[in-house]
Amino acid sequence: MFDTSRQVPLTELQAYISLLAKNYKASIEIYLRGRETSKKGIFAFLENSFKSFQLSKKKAEMQAFASALSDYVSALIQLDAKMSRNLIQTYMPEQQEQLIFALGADQRLQLDYLQSIIHESYLSEKAMLLYVTLMCLFEPDSLAEAFRTYQHLPIEESLKICEKYQAYDCMEYIYERMGNVEKSVEIACSRIDKVFQQRFGYRDAETAYGIIAEILNNAIQTCVKNHTESIWESLLDAAIDLFNKYRQRPEYADEMFVFYEINAKILYYMVNHSSVDYVISLFQTKYTKLDMGGSMRKAFIEILSNYSYGENILFSAHELTKDIYMDELIR
């Protein structure tokens, strides 16, 4: 443990004397507070101390040293979370979760440590849910990607936490993974609504519109990946509800193009990934009173022109487009 062939710094000598005297807290504190000790030197001292106890088979002393060290885990993690993790997992693994929860006064520090071990599958559900909670608080935009990466994270209980902290991006992913894709795309439209309402809080409106486009693209890809007609209909329903929410309010007149384009894009992909006759039937029944203005009207006419086929479908498309063109003349 102690190299007598070199000149020993005072801090190291004092720590070694305290260690021999079994004053373990003092030895650790001397090293942590020593001006000339480096981060590497502190962790080397701790590891060498553990190794010495192991080699001499002094189990009781090793446990006492580990117990003393537990009071300084916060300081160690602040120095280096990864080196702290390696030390704890190697020499005091049974205390790891206890130490994590003991860091509760510093939640950011808790998260730093959890991020260094979350890839481990042996963590308790309680520890993993703490990780989800802290991610909601500090890094909510990264949480969905964490669930994609760490498949062992608990789903149902995590969903409750995400709902509590309104981590909608992650909720979308969890609902999709649970098989409730309709709910996932509905949440995507709720996120679009939230961004639109808060658009003046961004650098400019264009930034908000860009975020809306990204959310929409992800929702569309979710529909493409989990393709059923009912899922596409759920997305279109939610988008139309959003459109109807704002179209009767004159203060939003100059920005309604956002919602026309959202619906037009959904419609375009819907026709490409679903049957044309199904889409036409929706507009003949469910959406008969929809105000198809702007780019949505143009897109719908173009889609019908490109995809109409067969005598029955062609007739239905003709009837729909005729009504739309008449609406254009009235406008």
> For residue range 61-90, what is the model confidence (pLDDT) as tens digits?
999 999 999 888 888 888 888 898 889 989
For the chain, residues with pLDDT lower than 70 are 1-9, 35-36, 290-331
Instruction: Establish if 140 belongs to a structural domain.
Output: no
Maximum Cα–Cα distance across the chain: 98
Give the pLDDT confidence score for residue 320 in this predicted structure.
47
What separation in angstroms does the CA of 34 have from each of 31, 39, 41, 65, 229? 5, 11, 10, 19, 68
In the chain, the number of structural domains is 2
Give the pLDDT confidence score for residue 328 in this predicted structure.
40
| Cβ neighbours of residue 138 closer than 8 Å, sequence gap 6 or more | 107, 108, 111
Instruction: Establish if 25 belongs to a structural domain.
Output: yes
Clarify whether residues 98 and 192 are in a common domain.
no
Distance (Å, whole) CA 239 – CA 155: 27
Instruction: Establish if 326 belongs to a structural domain.
Output: yes
Give the pLDDT confidence score for residue 172 in this predicted structure.
95
Give the pLDDT confidence score for residue 6 in this predicted structure.
43
Instruction: Establish if 33 belongs to a structural domain.
Output: yes
Instruction: Establish if 246 belongs to a structural domain.
Output: yes
* 47: amino acid identity, one letter: E
Instruction: Establish if 120 belongs to a structural domain.
Output: no
Q: Of 103, 134, 152, at which residue does a domain stop?
A: 103
Give the pLDDT confidence score for residue 299 in this predicted structure.
61
Instruction: Establish if 130 belongs to a structural domain.
Output: no
| Structure-block tokens of residue 211 | 């975020």
Clarify whether residues 321 and 195 are in a common domain.
yes
Instruction: Establish if 321 belongs to a structural domain.
Output: yes
Q: Of 103, 128, 154, at which residue does a domain stop?
A: 103
Domain of 76? 1-103
Clarify whether residues 204 and 324 are in a common domain.
yes
Q: Under a CB-based contact definition with an 8 Å cutoff, are residues 32 and 72 in contact?
A: yes
Give the pLDDT confidence score for residue 272 in this predicted structure.
83
Q: Under a CB-based contact definition with an 8 Å cutoff, are residues 262 and 212 in contact?
A: yes
* 122: amino acid identity, one letter: Y
CA angle centred on 111, ends 109 and 114, rounded to 5°: 115
Distance (Å, whole) CA 7 – CA 213: 65
In a 3-state reduction of DSSP, which class is residue 290? coil
The count of other CB atoms within 10 Å of the CB of residue 45 is: 23
Distance (Å, whole) CA 241 – CA 207: 23
Q: Of 103, 138, 154, at which residue does a domain stop?
A: 103
Clarify whether residues 53 and 190 are in a common domain.
no
